[in-house]
Structure 1
Amino acid sequence: MLRLLLVVSVFLIGLSPQPQLRADHAGERDPLRLVIVHVSDLDRIEARGGRGGLAKLASVVGTLRLEHEHVLVTHGGDAVSPSVMSNFDQGAHMIDLLNRLDLDLFVLGNHEFDFGPEVTLERVAEADFPVLGSNLRRSDGTKLPGVEDEIILEIAGWHIGVMGLLTPQTLTSSSPGDIAFTSEVDAAAERAASLRAEGADFVVALVHSGYDVDTALVRQGAVDLVLGAHDHLQHLLWPTNGTAFVEAGAQANHVAIIEILLQEGEDSDNDWSAQFRFLDTLEITPDPDMQQAVQGYLADFEEELGRPLAITEVALDTRGSSLRSEENAFGNLIADAFRVATEADVAIQNAGGIRGHRHYAKGSILTKGDVIAELPFQNPMVLLEVDGETLWQIVEHGLAAVEQRSGRFPQVSGLSIVYDPQKLPGERLLELHVQDQPLESDALYRLAVNGFNAKGGDGYEMLTELPRLSHPADGLSDTAVLMRHLEQAERIAPRIEGRIRVP
């Protein structure tokens, strides 16, 4: 591990000024050759299709550490979730394996909050590496315990400043509780100025956000290097004499390797250059020690994952292209399970919460692992009381971004929807029936949803104002409800029934 020189927490009131680290080093320091190994969105421990996973990454890191004196290993976030295994131990196994990797730096991703902020803090406390989150605070303005705003690493007399930025969309894409976010771009400018004032020669931003934010940071130029995440794509952008940006994709299928040369320039300015490459891990031999640890976890989970629940008598498709734009048989299955378990009149499952992206052939045995892959977030089941007028607004919201294949698209039970996708958002719903009866605007209905949507996730803010009701599935997660539903059925045959229609 690189030596952590200083933790900067400038937002905390009452801190005395930190000593300046910069000195007149002109002619005194040798050039620094620093290798950064960057991955992100790595929540799966094993290789698939011969690529990715912790053992292959450990092999890459081990080789580079033997070949180079100064190596920095960074993770761009989304490790704790949403893997299948995370549903058994809420991501604790991943923190253990990253500790074994001797990870240097980590920024919180949106999926670090999938099990709520309390679990996030448990995982942070278990980490042997610095965890960054420079643009987030609790609603009272305090820091998250164990999460650093920024750090400065001392390497061979040079000072490398690092910040970590997380997308504010975490508020609707995960379950961060009372966490508040500031703009990534605004935070980058403030943190970069702070780091340089504290003596940083080179400033890096670990950023778990969208490509639009990444490019805005490049244009801003406040930091020297942006290490990206969140998009699951490989990107490289380096305008002449400007901020560089690189993102390595997901699951360590490819690893970004950045070789930086930092040297003294004229007039006390520092000059730097870099070489960027993406390493395909297909031909990488797994590190034997890490592979043994990975196999140990796989063996622990294998029996539970493989437990059979039910046989499907029809083919099922859980790919997002179907779920996010039209009625889907598997979506019907989930929504029916919710409605039955809670004794609701209607149930809605946001399509974005169904994550397996699989095709199940007729006659397939659905296992516990399959259910966890499809509903990985273990959201609690919530029963709400809703009037007909508000229920119309809820469904209208679910249909408002269908052309974008938005995760808010509703898979439903107890509802019959007719809508026109050619109309403007907010005007698309044409007919709505509850239990085959026309919707009554002043009637009260029992609506079952998952806890993510109940807290306003995917923009369902209107749900946060609705009264909560007790129900038979209180204390159960959506994952557990579907497992129970399948076990009781033994054989299933969900079909497209015309619940969501276009005239």
Structure 2
Amino acid sequence: MKLFKRFHFIRLSKVRSMPLVIGLSCFLSLGLSSQPVFADGHKSFEITILHTNDFHARFRPISKYDNNCSAENNAEGKCFGGSARLISAIEDARSRHKNTILLDGGDQFQGTLFYTMYKGKVAAEMMNKMQYDGMAVGNHEFDDGPVTLRAFMDTVNFPVLMANANVDLEPELKDKLQKSTIIVKDNRKIGLIGVVTEDVVDISSPGDNIIFTDAITAVQTEVDALTQQGVNIIILLSHSSYAIDKEIAANTTGVDVIVGGHDNTYLSNVSDRAKGPYPTVVNDTQIIQAYAYGKFLGELSVVFDDKGEVVSATGEPITIDKLISENSDVVARLDELEVPINELKEREVGSVSSELNGNRAVCRVQECDMGNMIADAMRHAVMDKGYTIALMNSGGIRASLDSGQVTLGEVMTILPFQNTLATFKVTGKQLLTAIENGVSEVEDVAGRFPQVSGMRFTFDATRPAGDRVTSIETQDEYGWSNLNLYGTYGMVSNNFIRGGGDGYKVFRSASDIYDFGPDLADVVAAYIDANPGYSGYTDGRINQE
């Protein structure tokens, strides 16, 4: 089995003896013992937490743009991730550590044609093969409602957890979805708790029967319950974002490690691209996250004393790249699963002459060329019917696009949610409210940020949310004009946004609503086909003061 180079960085909390801890860490790194003895005779307990998050059905290797990676590029070592490499990395890590636990921070669902065709079945199969020990519910686990989540939970061999919700009124999840659980590793109890982002109602489709609650309160309640059962090592699986994880750590007691997700945060001690150290320590809680899409496998070795206090935490995410061999059985199984979707996936729909940037770090804070193309495609499809303004939520843009021939599979990877085109009419005041919502969380890189066509606007992010938009102009056959708050405008968006998703609740009270247009991916594919050699561009339709 191939071994990987490791970078070890010690982060200490409640340190009893600095020389002892440093010596202990070196001792552990040699793999000589899993339970060293402290000077006072007490035994320590070491466990290595392996973790993933926001995998989004990337079972096959992906490119540097998080999109499809061709077999040729994969053979040349240009690809990352994929289940076949990930399982090899997991097996290697297990061979190097006596005690390991494999956890996921949520959002296994949605993102490729594998999910479009099989829903959660492939994720369940692959996670069972990798022998996960636990998973948080992510917001995308609700994209097809509680029924699909329940089918996934019935298939997997590990607990799926969500503490910050009451599911008693949801028959698919009542008595099935746990808030927390206890597992045992090397005769030591470990408590696992799960939480999901509190805005899941806005950004997914959990239905009307689930009541979501405050994450911090929910976590502390479960910690207290686990503590009463004699558990003094507690790991939180949090699909909430790096910022929220730090808030949870700062405002709770008893959580030792938070395995995060939701905002695709890369933490590292060696990369200048990292948003913070691995682990990030807040209130003696070790916070870890491993970006997304299977590009990394998090690996954190934690030493606890017999009271469950963290003595040391060392590690670094493993890059899942060409240095890791692909498991041939997994490759063969994915080949088999892919047969029914290959014809659809490989059909060429046109070409683009330049790369289009769909990176969330760009499209969720400013105008981006991918957003412009999608919004223009939506507007082009319905403009002859009098709908002249298009709005696309950047959270629905899930990948970038290389230049060259474009397949339907690539378009569906960029727009994986099977949203349909929705047309409706709003007043100018409603449109202003919508754009204010769109820029209200720009500092959080939220998915509600709007990409638009047929309009242009300026906003000031230093002003309070709800009062940030400083100008809006709309376009018709006569040119550009200032927004008329009392006028009526025909709009096109997707059915998710029109139904109030991503905070666009104002669109629920629109008029002349029709939510059942063609699939958004098909609309964009047709637009690419109608514009051979399309070249991406930005033209100042979104400006920030």
Q: Is the 8 A contact 1:184 1:213 kept in 2?
A: no
1:111 to 110, 131, 140: 140
Does the alignment pair 1:456 with 2:500?
Answer: yes
Distance 1:457 1:211, change over 3 A: same
The offset of 1:148, in angstroms, is 1.2
2:377 to 326, 337, 348: 337
Distance 1:419 1:225, change over 3 A: closer
Q: Is the 8 A contact 2:181 2:193 kept in 1?
A: yes
Stretches of structure 1 that go unaligned for 5 or more consecutive residues are: 1-28
The residue number in structure 2 matching 1:256 is 298
Q: Matched residue of 1:171: which SS?
A: helix
Q: Distance in 2 between matches of 1:240 and 1:212?
A: 11
Deviates more, 1:400-409 or 1:46-55: 400-409
The residue number in structure 2 matching 1:376 is 416
The residue number in structure 1 matching 2:61 is 47
The residue number in structure 1 matching 2:456 is 417
The offset of 1:374, in angstroms, is 2.0
The residue number in structure 1 matching 2:428 is 388
Q: Is the 8 A contact 2:423 2:491 kept in 1?
A: yes
1:175 to 180, 192, 205: 205
1:306 to 321, 346, 352: 346
Q: Distance in 2 between matches of 1:55 and 1:245?
A: 27
Q: Is the 8 A contact 2:104 2:136 kept in 1?
A: yes
2:89 to 60, 71, 75: 60
Task: Give the letter for the 2:109 counterpart.
Answer: V
Q: Distance in 2 between matches of 1:436 and 1:92?
A: 52
Q: Is the 8 A contact 1:188 1:222 kept in 2?
A: no
Distance 1:141 1:298, change over 3 A: closer
Q: Is the 8 A contact 1:400 1:428 kept in 2?
A: no
Q: Distance in 2 between matches of 1:226 and 1:85?
A: 29
Measured against aligned partners, the alpha-carbon deviations of 1:59-116 in whole angstroms (never above 9, x if no partner) come to 2333444565543211111211224532333343222211222221111122223344
1:277 to 307, 312, 315: 315
Does the alignment pair 1:353 with 2:396?
Answer: yes
Distance 1:332 1:214, change over 3 A: closer
Sequence identity, in percent?
25
Query: What are the within-5 Å matches in structure 2 for residues 151-230 of structure 1?
Result: 151-178=181-208, 179-219=210-250, 220-230=252-262
Q: Distance in 1 between matches of 2:531 and 2:100?
A: 53
Task: Give the letter for the 2:424 counterpart.
Answer: L
The residue number in structure 2 matching 1:500 is 541
The offset of 1:456, in angstroms, is 2.5
Alignment RMSD, CA only?
Answer: 3.6
Q: Matched residue of 1:428: which SS?
A: strand
Deviates more, 1:396-405 or 1:456-465: 396-405
Task: Give the letter for the 2:260 counterpart.
Answer: G
Measured against aligned partners, the alpha-carbon deviations of 1:330-377 in whole angstroms (never above 9, x if no partner) come to 4344234334545451322123322222353xxx32210221122122
Q: Matched residue of 1:213: which SS?
A: helix
Q: Distance in 2 between matches of 1:497 and 1:247?
A: 33
Distance 1:345 1:133, change over 3 A: same
Stretches of structure 2 that go unaligned for 5 or more consecutive residues are: 1-41, 63-77, 268-276
The residue number in structure 1 matching 2:117 is 88
Q: Distance in 2 between matches of 1:284 and 1:341?
A: 45
Q: Matched residue of 1:85: which SS?
A: helix
Q: Is the 8 A contact 1:319 1:359 kept in 2?
A: no
Q: Is the 8 A contact 1:309 1:490 kept in 2?
A: no
The offset of 1:305, in angstroms, is 1.7
The offset of 1:207, in angstroms, is 1.3
Q: Is the 8 A contact 1:396 1:427 kept in 2?
A: yes
Q: Distance in 1 between matches of 2:92 and 2:461?
A: 55
Distance 1:136 1:434, change over 3 A: farther
Q: Distance in 2 between matches of 1:94 and 1:170?
A: 21
Task: Give the letter for the 2:193 counterpart.
Answer: M
Deviates more, 1:396-405 or 1:157-166: 396-405
Distance 1:465 1:242, change over 3 A: same
Deviates more, 1:199-208 or 1:394-403: 394-403
Distance 1:334 1:281, change over 3 A: closer
Q: Distance in 1 between matches of 2:283 and 2:458?
A: 52
Distance 1:272 1:111, change over 3 A: same
The offset of 1:47, in angstroms, is 3.4
Q: Distance in 2 between matches of 1:199 and 1:80?
A: 34
Measured against aligned partners, the alpha-carbon deviations of 1:23-53 in whole angstroms (never above 9, x if no partner) come to xxxxxx9865533322222231233445432
Q: Distance in 2 between matches of 1:501 and 1:258?
A: 42
Q: Is the 8 A contact 1:36 1:257 kept in 2?
A: yes
Measured against aligned partners, the alpha-carbon deviations of 1:277-305 in whole angstroms (never above 9, x if no partner) come to 22344433333322332343455544322
Q: Matched residue of 1:348: which SS?
A: strand
Distance 1:270 1:127, change over 3 A: closer
Measured against aligned partners, the alpha-carbon deviations of 1:5-25 in whole angstroms (never above 9, x if no partner) come to xxxxxxxxxxxxxxxxxxxxx
Q: Is the 8 A contact 2:88 2:325 kept in 1?
A: yes
| Alignment size in residue pairs | 464
TM-score by length of 1: 0.79
Task: Give the letter for the 1:419 counterpart.
Answer: T
1:130 to 116, 141, 159: 159
Distance 1:255 1:302, change over 3 A: same
Q: Distance in 2 between matches of 1:107 and 1:451?
A: 27
Task: Give the letter for the 1:500 counterpart.
Answer: R
The offset of 1:308, in angstroms, is 0.7
